[in-house]
């Protein structure tokens, strides 16, 4: 069966520091991968998606970037965090239109 991992589970970072969140998927090949953010009291906002290694599409202009160095690895990064980057970050993979989400990372920028 397929599983999706995210780490870390929680992270507290100062403004201006770098960020690296990692997501890996097991049990499937060449999945579509996604990064979402859920800000407090809001819905799920799609940040990036990837249909293959090295292929990244950005949905919204922002302070973040994504990379897919391996087939089942998806990384969300920032060079300098802003206060507005705080939120709950979710990685997902999809098959046949259904997306399956990881456990999420709670990021607090102080």
Partner 1 sequence: DQQVKQNSPSLSVQEGRISILNCDYTNSMFDYFLWYKKYPAEGPTFLISISSIKDKNEDGRFTVFLNKSAKHLSLHIVPSQPGDSAVYFCAATLNSGGSNYKLTFGKGTLLTVNP
Contact 41, 88 (CB under 8 A): no
**62 touches partner 1 by CB under 8 A:** no
**90 touches partner 1 by CB under 8 A:** yes
**SS3 at position 83:** helix
Tell me which stretch binds partner 1 (CB under 8 A): 11-19, 36-44, 63-71, 73-81: 36-44
Tell me which stretch binds partner 1 (CB under 8 A): 14-22, 51-59, 60-68, 77-85: 51-59
Which residue from 86, 102, 107, 109 is in contact with partner 1, where contact means CB under 8 A?
102
Cα–Cα dist 85/96, whole Å: 31
Cα–Cα dist 59/79, whole Å: 19
Phi, psi of 105 (to 5 degrees): -125, 125
Cα–Cα dist 37/95, whole Å: 20
> How many residues sit in the footprint of partner 1 (CB under 8 A)?
24
When the beta carbons of 15 and 60 are compared against partner 1, the nearer one is 60
**97 touches partner 1 by CB under 8 A:** yes
């Amino acid at each position: 069966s397929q599983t999706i991992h995210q780490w870390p589970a929680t992270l507290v970072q100062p403004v201006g520091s770098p960020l690296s969140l990692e997501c890996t998927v097991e049990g499937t090949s060449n999945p579509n991968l996604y990064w979402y953010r859920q800000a407090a009291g809001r819905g799920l906002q799609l940040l990036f998606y990837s249909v293959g290694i090295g292929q990244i599409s950005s949905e919204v202009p922002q302070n973040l970037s994504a990379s897919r160095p391996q087939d089942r690895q998806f990384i969300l990064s920032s060079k300098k965090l802003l206060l507005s980057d705080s939120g709950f970050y979710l990685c997902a993979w999809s098959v046949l239109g259904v997306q399956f989400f990881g456990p999420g990372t709670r990021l607090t920028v102080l």
